[in-house]
Chains A and B, each alone.
Chain A
Amino acid sequence: MFKIEVTIKKRSRELPYSGFIIPLSSIIISISISLIILGLYGVDPGKFFKVFTTALISPSSIRYAIPLILSGVGLAVAYKANVWNIGAEGQILAGALVASGLALYYIPPTMPHEAAILLLYIAAFLAGSLTALIPAILKALYNVNEVLSTLMINYIMMQIVNYLVYGPWRGKKEYGYPRTDIFPNNTILPQLEIGGLKTTINIPTLILMIGSAIVIYVILFKTKWGYEIRVYGLSEEAARYGGLEIWKIIILVMVISGGLAGLAGAGEVLGVYKQLIRAERVSAGFGYTAIIVAWLGNLNPLGILLSGYFIGVLVSMGYTLQIFTGVPYGTVNIFTGTLLLTLISLDFLSKYSPVIRVRR
């Protein structure tokens, strides 16, 4: 009788170029799987591809990619340190909230446009950082699990924002809708125009997004801080052994992580909606989707530029699919789900090789 034995063996190094090949092939595999599933529901593959390719070059994909990439890069910093920040959603809201409050009530309409925007970005960054700082301090000092504390703060932030837009901040010219008034002109971010048409892409946040990806890449892989972050992330024991100051690492990564999410929040309200709206619509789950973006980009900020754009395409495609084929928006989740699944399996295969033996 023959018996097939499957064991695994760690590769001495990852397969070459696995950083590119894995995400690419998992995208291809997940597209094929989703096509089959959508096909079973009666969606014409031709139509699917048309929607998909349209989304690939649509400005709205970039618009969605901006908050996803900003928060995703931030999350990557935390995840590299093995700190599980699940709170990007709340940190986005904190940034949005503080930027809105300042824009509506504190920034005088006479302040120059550039100064106002700079001030709002800084405030939004600090707001996101502070939101992340609470779980960071709890973890650093009392070893409180950051997954729970960051997640809880998401709900708190959501309720605060909703309280404000339903209550004290509700706009006077908004006919009772739960949203604030439109921000003054000197606080609104300029939007990109393509062929004379305004898009929802706002230029300053787009620049911040690219800039932050590059800066974070350099910090993570070229500086001593990045080295500390990576050492702590891979082995807490080794970090302790090497005398690294762990509490500083935890606080540093959470401050960066929250701050970037805060910027994303400011970009949404100041550059897209021009007013603060209901919490569910401001962050729209971007804080959670950014988790996928971070991992799809292999926790590498430059990879996240690509993965964030790709997920941006999916989000924008989801809305179009809903309009043109009647398939619910949630269908996109089939796609992201299979994408994550193949990604994880391929990542495993790039690190371990299966050994199949047949024995008698």
Chain B
Amino acid sequence: MNIPPTFLNSNTVVLMRGITKEFYGFKALDNVDFDIKKGEIHVLLGENGAGKTTLVKILTGVYLMDKGEIYIDGVKRDIRNVGDAVKYGISIVNQYPQLIDELTITENISLSLRSLGIIHRFNKIKEKIIEYSDKYSFKLDPDKYVRDLSFSERQRVEILKAILLDSKVIIMDEPTTLLTTWERKLIYQFMKRAKEEGRSIVLITHKLSEALEVADRITILKKGRVVARLNAEDATYGKLMKLMFDKIHAKTVDRKRDVDSRNEILRIEDLVVLDEYGRKAVKNVNLKLYSGEIVGIAGIAGNGQRELIEAIYGVRRREAGKIIFLGRDISKYNARELRKLVGYIPDKIPEAVILNMPIYENLILKKYDDSMILRKKIFIDYKSVYKYSSSLISEYNIAAEDPGVDAGTLSGGNLQKLVLARELSLDPPLIIAVNPSKTLDHFSTELLHSTLIKYRDRGKAILLVSEDSEEVMKVSDRIMVMHEGNLYELGSKDEVDLGLIEEYMIRGGEVEEVIKVG
């Protein structure tokens, strides 16, 4: 759907035309047109993987487009890096704020101004932070260290950064996903103020209600194409719904299997785990996991999920409680044995991959001491390792020339496939996957989910931990939420809806109080 010439006028700040971007043969964006007017809130709406983020990453110089043109104030411009975008007055507020913990707010903001060659006096920056913080009621103390800030405060720091960079276009990538109602209101209020100041806001979201609440205009992306472009007055919930999803979602998860024939794989009783600072990160958690099911744990990062998983995987000490795996306490397993029985797909792939080692050596990280691979008990039989790796590469469709290239040359999606191949090839009874779709495009995410589901159908247990409530909803058989170290079981997939999961993610146990009182 292309923009007709009449659509444009002198108010148009940014015009993107015919934008096309491919990733490894997958068209993330296909001939997309997008325009931004002065002083408007333009909502970019679409499902995960529709291409919203890719589009703005092109506008902000993070990705280079394959085809297309960008006009800024009517002049054709070349945006090749983040600096270029800032020069033309375009900034992005990232979904996950990218700040340095060990610096104060002022230092963080000066740092990004400085690295872009805009040198101000330190005091001047501080004054401005105070000024704008008041103006938008952000309540930020410029001398506070970023490590002491909440998620929402960090986000506000990113917004201030964009303002101090004097941006006329501010892109906000799913800013409200992890916010409380009050914090959400603050962001909406900011967007309206910014609009009055003549700035333009691009709001990326997948929430229809949010789009209807704040938008002046809405552009809907689906599978890398623009399917609709409408004014807020013409938009209704039903209409947007229809445009976003043309058919009812095919259920990825089928019916639950026989309950009786399932075995208990993992049982956790009253588990307490401490974090690096000795604080209780996991508070008396109980959990049972059976063969042939996927249990999804949703939660905002930093609520103890990481510590819980590391305790199960045996890389973090337990403070109290039991972890029974296959009928034995995990302390009874030695480290290597446990690693072979638990497949682990972390979200930080570099934890699991040795980037400067060839693929074939990466694929045997959990297998190198198997008698299958060793000759005379100590020599690794690299010839058979090479053959074995080639077969895994083709089975899991890893885009690599041959097993001899360094893992570091693979793309994020392929690295994840590599980890998946390595973990599944061991045929472990339990797989733990953390935010598996965070770094993947839509297509790879689908593939990953279906791989996990197929694996479950072979009678294996899967523990899915994700910040993405939709992912948890889509793939899991049973759904739980972790909040401030507590684990809440919400019920089976049919008993739970997305809204409830998100409420729990933000407020945890308080939700129950509300329900009880109400």
Contact = CB atoms under 8 A, between A and B. Distances in A.
B97 interface: no
Interface stretch (B317-325, B366-374, B459-467): B366-374
A235 B353 CA distance: 8
A359 B406 contact: no
B315 A240 contact: yes
Contacts of B352: 237-238, 241
Given A13-B404, A13-B406, A224-B369, A241 B351 contact: yes
Given A231-B357, A238-B354, A224 B380 contact: yes
Given A223-B378, A223-B379, A224-B369, A231 B354 contact: yes
Given A241-B351, A242-B366, A222 B379 contact: yes
A220 to B, nearest CB: 11
20 contacts: A10-B409, A12-B401, A13-B405, A222-B380, A223-B379, A224-B368, A224-B369, A224-B374, A224-B378, A228-B368, A231-B357, A234-B355, A234-B356, A235-B355, A237-B351, A238-B365, A243-B336, A243-B366, A244-B335, A244-B336
Interface string A1-37: 0000000001011000000000000000000000000
B350 interface: yes
Interface string B397-421: 0000100111011000000000000
Contact of A12 (B315, B335, B374, B405): B405
A44 interface: no
B192 interface: no
A280 interface: no
Contact of A243 (B339, B354, B355): B339
A49 interface: no
A243 B350 contact: no
B60 to A, nearest CB: 18
Contact of A237 (B350, B361, B379): B350
B280 interface: no
B98 to A, nearest CB: 21
Interface residues of B, number: 35
Most buried by A among B336, B351, B354, B405: B354
A241 B356 contact: no
Interface string B344-363: 10100011111111000100
Interface in A215-257: 222-225, 227-228, 230-231, 234-235, 237-238, 240-245
Contacts of A245: 335
B18 interface: no
Contacts of A243: 314, 335-336, 338-339, 366
Nearest to A5: B80
A9 to B, nearest CB: 10
Given A224-B374, A225-B378, A242-B339, A235 B406 contact: no
Contacts of B364: 227
Contacts of A238: 350-354, 365
Nearest to B377: A224
Given A225-B378, A242-B339, 17 more contacts: A10-B408, A10-B409, A13-B409, A227-B380, A230-B361, A235-B350, A235-B353, A235-B356, A237-B351, A238-B354, A240-B315, A241-B351, A243-B336, A243-B339, A244-B335, A359-B78, A359-B80
B406 A234 contact: no
A224 B351 CA distance: 21
Contact of A234 (B354, B374, B409): B354
Interface residues of A, number: 22
A238 B374 CA distance: 21
- Interface of A, secondary structure class, is helix
Contacts of B336: 243-244
Nearest to B348: A237
Interface of B: 78, 80, 314-315, 335-336, 338-339, 344, 346, 350-357, 361, 364-366, 368-369, 374, 378-380, 382, 401, 404-406, 408-409
Contacts of B382: 222
Contacts of B369: 224
A335 B435 CA distance: 52
Most buried by B among A12, A225, A359: A12
A199 to B, nearest CB: 38
A223 B376 CA distance: 10
Contacts of A359: 78, 80
Nearest to B366: A242
Nearest to B365: A242
B105 to A, nearest CB: 30
B357 A234 contact: yes
A235 B379 contact: no
Nearest to A228: B368
Contacts of B355: 234-235
A17 B365 CA distance: 27
A173 to B, nearest CB: 50
Contacts of A228: 368
Contacts of B339: 241-243
Nearest to B315: A240
A180 B445 CA distance: 73
Contacts of B78: 359
A231 B408 CA distance: 14
Contact of B357 (A222, A225, A230, A241): A230
Contacts of A240: 315
Contacts of A10: 408-409
Given A10-B408, A12-B405, A241 B378 contact: no
A87 B258 CA distance: 63
Nearest to A235: B354
Contacts of B335: 243-245
Contacts of B351: 237-238, 241
A222 B346 CA distance: 29
Contacts of B80: 359
A161 B357 CA distance: 43
In the A-B complex, the 8 residue pairs with the smallest Cβ-Cβ separation, listed nearest first, are A243-B339, A243-B335, A12-B409, A242-B365, A237-B351, A243-B336, A235-B354, A234-B354
A137 to B, nearest CB: 20
B344 A241 contact: yes
A257 B408 CA distance: 29
Interface in A269-310: none
Nearest to A227: B368
Contacts of B379: 222-224
A242 B405 CA distance: 21
Nearest to B404: A13
A237 B353 CA distance: 9
A235 B354 CA distance: 6
Contacts of A222: 379-380, 382
Contacts of B409: 10, 12-13
Interface string A145-189: 000000000000000000000000000000000000000000000
A230 B344 CA distance: 21
Contacts of B405: 12-13
Contacts of A224: 368-369, 374, 378-380
B154 to A, nearest CB: 25
Given A13-B406, A245-B335, A231 B401 contact: no
Contacts of B353: 235, 238
A157 to B, nearest CB: 33
B361 A227 contact: yes
A225 B380 CA distance: 10
